[in-house]
Structure 1
């Protein structure tokens, strides 16, 4: 026992717990502190294995021991915990992660323990690492990058000549210097057209003689016809939301599944294990391939999106190829833009006229340059993730990890229209038995003049906390703050008056109809 080494700490310990001065020291323990790249421990099932559970990487282990044991026991014995454990799930990290990456990010986590954290914080270690083809082009246009699952992704486009510390110095609990740029981007999508690099989306190819029956049971919505798409959800056995998918039906037994970019390994593990169980029951063979890095994605959205694409599409009749008749909403077509083959999907996360342009990854720079050049005649503006996040809330589009997760069912998320109760699907009976414990709503907020919510702010009714925001931001359509969150079902009626707590004050808010911007599409 090296008392000299720990003397200062021991004396402070006596000050905190006076009895320790006389009780005596039997031994001391000293060792490295465990960290993970994002600072959260690993609690849950091991990737690709069955009946193997992890509980490690605790930087403050003793303080989390009781809760970890409680919720891990629920996972092991009941299949799910009563809270959403996704942020601790070991499968949140992908196979791309290396020893050096983990080591350097762990050191960064330690450096960040006792500093002030802002909601718009981005950490710099090990970056850039994973980059989409147009990364350099975007930097030249002033892109200030964030990262998701190791991928660099524009958060917003600031000044082209911004100093290296521009984003760092813009961070605040109020509206930082970046806010004006995100606002201009959101306005461009509503008024002209914007382009968003969404290449980090998770993408899986599911095919084989058992694929259709498997996916029909695995997800809660009807499967689309060939050439069409559907938004749907895979549920846990407890009936809560496990994964959100856009399913594109390429052929009779071949499907292209798109899900959140932050959860590639997490989604693959659940999808593959579920398919393995299906095949083990003799229900038909299924091939599953993670093709995330084989395809890039540009989302083009805004009133001028069709006119822009018409200038570069190659077709026997370019005037009609993108029309509602030949290319209806929620459908997909293989098209050619300039020399680039594109899997175009008629959908937009911003609620505007738009397409997701999925392209073989090697065409990314050529396609970006082509769109930017053509877009000069249509008011095109590059758009980052922060503006997109504001815009999707104006349409009440839920986000996985915010409104969607393993602690709420699709019915509680008010997604009834995406649940087909006429068919059997995984988690259906538990979902129905759970009922409605709370309901997802969109609120417009008369908040402070220089601050927007980010999510997690308390929702208050008659002086009582009744829920919390899961997302927040600024609405360019309504020129006020906007948010989404969960409240008791009795308070989910449009017109209900609430309060949102920001900056230690309570601000007026009102529950809106779902999709307050352009509710009839």
Structure 2
């Protein structure tokens, strides 16, 4: 399944995502205070974080800006009530200051299919309803990290050009009542392109080749986004909730990507201990799996800051033995994102 996405095209059911609509006169000011990154421009998206009062990561959001005062927030599927509670409480606290903020939980209103791989555009071109489909899905009219309303067959779709796998791809947010129709449409169109249905484990392996942090693994209430080594998603030029606490904490440990020369019949799952060459415990994995690009085990984890240098060789404990694990650059697969940005 992982190879299908790297080499062709795969379809993933991502309906479980938590989804909220935030709008109103106070929406932009609220979200600017509530999250770490700059807000996107209309029609664009960004990845951002909401922090705890201690400066650690409380929630990861993809924010789609529909209009100046209208935003669509997407977060982890397994944390619906967790995210909703925090969002509601923050809105109630800040609405008197920022002005009216409308919040709508649309998690069950929209389904999501993620289509990814070098042939994903080809599948969409076979079903998109547009006078000039090739240009509609081109980089010029539909660049990476943007959103666009399109029609696939008879199904209206809010398409977001982003993929958790590191390949060309889109998230297709659609009315839940049309999900079966859209699935059948995509499945039939994908047949001639060799499209496969892909599960979460394959997606998890591929996101590690891109060093994409996952909420509940690399991201959580025990580390700040700075410690997760995500400075590009933190705008220190603005004030946001938890900023002072995050800065005060500094970097206690740092998230790195490792390629592992492990056993032939097993891969790490995450939580395995990491050791220096002298046997001192220096950190732990937070994710693990198999890399189809490098044909060996891969993992993400946290280590002491002084050890978080590319080329450092550590040891990871698997099956009661220690195996070599080498820290590599972030996004060892396609570090310049050329495959994500490929044009039609």
TM-score bracket for the superposition, by shorter chain length: over 0.9
Cα distance in 2 for residues equivalent to 1:451 and 1:496: 23
Report what 1:223 is aligned to.
39
Q: Is 1:469 matched with 2:249?
A: no
Report what 1:395 is aligned to.
210
The structural deviation recorded for 1:516 is 0.7
Report what 2:69 is aligned to.
253
Q: Is 1:317 matched with 2:132?
A: yes
Q: Alignment partner of 1:300: what SS?
A: strand
1:198-249: CA deviation from partner (whole Å, max 9, x where unpaired): 0000000111110000000000000001100000000111111000000000
Which structure 2 residues correspond to residues 395-474 of structure 1 after superposition, within 5 A? Answer: 395-461=210-276, 462-474=278-290
Cα distance in 2 for residues equivalent to 1:313 and 1:492: 46
Cα distance in 2 for residues equivalent to 1:483 and 1:367: 35
Which structure 2 residues correspond to residues 2-17 of structure 1 after superposition, within 5 A? Answer: none
1:387-410: CA deviation from partner (whole Å, max 9, x where unpaired): 011010000000000000011111
Report what 2:182 is aligned to.
367
Cα distance in 2 for residues equivalent to 1:441 and 1:455: 13
The structural deviation recorded for 1:251 is 1.0
Match of 1:504 among 305, 316, 320: 320
Off by >3 Å, runs of 4+ in structure 1 = none
The structural deviation recorded for 1:308 is 1.1
The structure with the larger Rg is 1
Cα distance in 2 for residues equivalent to 1:351 and 1:481: 18
Cα distance in 2 for residues equivalent to 1:388 and 1:260: 14
Q: Is 1:186 matched with 2:5?
A: no
Report what 1:126 is aligned to.
none
RMSD: 0.6
Which structure 2 residues correspond to residues 484-503 of structure 1 after superposition, within 5 A? Answer: 484-503=300-319
Q: Is 1:340 matched with 2:168?
A: no
Report what 2:297 is aligned to.
481
Which structure 2 residues correspond to residues 47-62 of structure 1 after superposition, within 5 A? Answer: none
Q: Alignment partner of 1:359: what SS?
A: strand
Cα distance in 1 for residues equivalent to 2:133 and 2:100: 40
The structural deviation recorded for 1:283 is 2.1
The structural deviation recorded for 1:378 is 1.0
Q: Alignment partner of 1:319: what SS?
A: helix
Cα distance in 1 for residues equivalent to 2:309 and 2:125: 42
1:253-298: CA deviation from partner (whole Å, max 9, x where unpaired): 1100000000001001000100100014x32011111110000000
Match of 1:288 among 93, 98, 103: 103
Cα distance in 1 for residues equivalent to 2:288 and 2:98: 44
Q: Which runs of 5 or more residues in structure 2 are unaligned?
A: 338-344
Which structure 2 residues correspond to residues 64-143 of structure 1 after superposition, within 5 A? Answer: none
Match of 1:278 among 68, 91, 94: 94
The structural deviation recorded for 1:429 is 1.1
Cα distance in 2 for residues equivalent to 1:186 and 1:245: 25
Q: Which runs of 5 or more residues in structure 1 are unaligned?
A: 1-184
Q: State TM-score, norm by structure 1.
A: 0.64
Q: State TM-score, norm by structure 2.
A: 0.97
